[in-house]
Amino acid sequence: MTYKTIIEPFKIKSVEPIYMSTEKERISFLKKAHNNPFQLNSEEVIIDLLTDSGTSAMSAHQWSGMMQGDEAYAGSQSWRKMEKAINDLTGLEHVLPTHQGRAAERILYTTLGDKGKVFFSNTHFDTTRANIEFSGAEAIDIPISESKDPQLIHPFKGNIDTTLLEILIKKYGPENVGAVILTVTNNSGGGQPVSMSNAKTVSTICRKNKVLFILDCCRIAENSYFIQHRESGYENTSYRKIAQEMFSLADGAIMSAKKDALVNMGGFLAVKDPSLAEACRSLLIITEGFSTYGGLSGRDMEAIAIGLEEVFDDDYLKYRIRSTEYLGEKLHRMGIPIMLPIGGHAVYVDARTLYPHIPVDEYPGQALVCELYLKGGVRSVEVGSVMFGKYDEQHKLIPAPMDLVRLAIPRRVYTQSHIEYVIEVFEKILRDRDKTIGYKITYEPQYLRHFTAHFEPLKKIKSTIKQ
């Protein structure tokens, strides 16, 4: 007999209180934050779904590992544990520890990138793209065309377009390709998985053309879950074995340990080629730290080594993916437009469809983000025209292709009743849908405006037709 209820496969040993703010307080908190939830203090938030990055709860085993942290400058035991955990998982011999994912990206992509070089990916994550472009190289996204339709059901919407990949490698010349990067799961593409067969084809194309194949493996365990449940031939393969098979196809891997290593800070770079490792190690020592700690404390490295084991636990992964799906399914059934199928780490709400009466230049995504906060103290993030919008010469907004709001689920942090509460907040949002109004930007910096922009709600213009 199997039960419908997905219970959290853990007990709670230590708790962090949540301040239960009132709606009245939240009105003033949001005003003080200029209607930008990035500017809120965390204690003003009841349920924080801003990101799944670095927000995981560590296990008792990880906390006890922290006490064993060996803080030696060189040759620390904790480093050797972390290195072994990564060698065993990835099969990649040369491992470089870094303080987070983007540090590993900067080291690898400044080594591989240059003016005239090009990188291809299913979708470059924003820090990946920034590091590649900073090197002077070009970053080109080539996801499969199915990934562009938010309602289309496809089991592996994170796949890269391998036909286009071959054409583009030929067009630019293999000698000009810095690397092909598969991001698993595809974070910027809605947390959608990549299939093993897609990774195999990429590997074949790369080998044939002598081009490097890098895995951005931040969510490799979540991706392995989808392969076991959706790709034929993998039903009886363990999540860890699936991950190992995928790593065996690549020449290197980059990881932000703040995701599937279940820690609050850390990352690494791992490669096969000793001369590439050597070049990267020199940069590591200049900017991150000595090669046996990178930017990490010994205790952090202990926690990463343990987290990389724990994340492949059957019960954990089932709970992780099913609980994200649970939130998505409930919202979908209620009539909230969401991106389908539901990805691994987050649910994306289509705010432009939810609020058809709010024009794109009044930022429907920002309207939903503010509503979620005001109604329930739920913090989310706009992934739409605030984040990606640009202006034309007349200073008219060029909107993003979609106005989404991301509800990212921190790992092992919230229980089902927290999620039920979020669902209830959405019921209220639906009830007040027609009354919800748009926002205008009153201040914005030149770059990455979503972090610090100020917003003001637009006064509702009373209709003169209907009284």
CA dist., res. 163 & res. 149, Å (int): 19
Name the one range near ligand PLP by CB under 6 A: 78-86, 100-108, 172-180, 190-198.
Answer: 100-108
Contact between 365 and ligand PLP per CB under 6 A: no
Closest-by-Cβ residue to ligand PLP is: 101
**Strands 94-98 and 138-141, bridge-based pairing:** unpaired
Q: Given the complex with ligand PLP, which of 72 and 448 has the nearer CB atom? A: 448
Residue 267 as a binder of ligand PLP (CB under 6 A): the answer is yes
In the shown chain, the binding pattern of residues 402 to 431 toward ligand PLP, with x for contact by CB under 6 A and - for none, equals ------------------------------
Q: Is 128 in the site for ligand PLP (CB under 6 A)?
A: yes
- Residue 457 contacts residue 437 (beta carbons within 8 Å): yes
Q: Pattern 246-265, binding to ligand PLP, x per CB under 6 A?
A: ----------x-xx------
For ligand PLP, give the closer residue by CB, 196 or 263.
263
Is 436 near ligand PLP (CB under 6 A)?
no
Least distance CB 444 / ligand PLP (angstroms): 23
- Read off the tokens for 201: 């084809």
Residue 298 engages ligand PLP in binding (rule: CB under 6 A): no
State the amino acid at position 300 in one-letter form. Answer: D
The binder of ligand PLP chosen from 37, 65, 69, 101 (CB under 6 A): 101
d(CA 84, CA 87): 5
Tokens of 167: 């054409």
Cβ nearer to ligand PLP, comparing 258 with 352: 258
CB of 199 to ligand PLP, least distance (A): 15
Region 206-225 residues binding ligand PLP, contact defined as CB under 6 A: 216, 218
CA 224, 227, 230, 234 dihedral sign is negative
CB of 216 to ligand PLP, least distance (A): 5
Q: Quick one: 268 or 316, whose CB is closer to ligand PLP?
A: 268
Q: Which is nearer to ligand PLP, 305 or 441 (CB)?
A: 305
Residue 29 sits in the site that holds ligand PLP (CB under 6 A):
no
Minimum CB distance to ligand PLP smaller for 89 or for 194: 194
Measured from the CB atom, is 144 or 336 closer to ligand PLP?
144
Candidates 62, 100, 110, 147; binder of ligand PLP (CB under 6 A) is 100
Provide the minimum distance between the beta carbon of 355 and ligand PLP in the complex, in angstroms, as a whole number. 28
User: Which one of 121-129, 134-142, 198-206, 299-307 is the stretch in contact with ligand PLP (CB under 6 A)?
Assistant: 121-129
For the CB of residue 218, give the shortest distance to ligand PLP in the complex, in Å: 4
229 phi/psi in degrees, rounded to 5: -90, -15
- The residues near 10 (Cβ < 8 Å, ≥ 6 apart) are 59, 412
Residue 212 beta carbon to ligand PLP: minimum distance, rounded to whole angstroms: 17
Residues within window 165-204 making contact with ligand PLP, judged by CB under 6 A: 183, 187
Task: Give the nearest distance from C-beta 157 to ligand PLP in angstroms.
Answer: 15
Rule CB under 6 A: which residues touch ligand PLP? 53, 100-102, 125, 127-128, 183, 187, 216, 218, 256, 258-259, 267
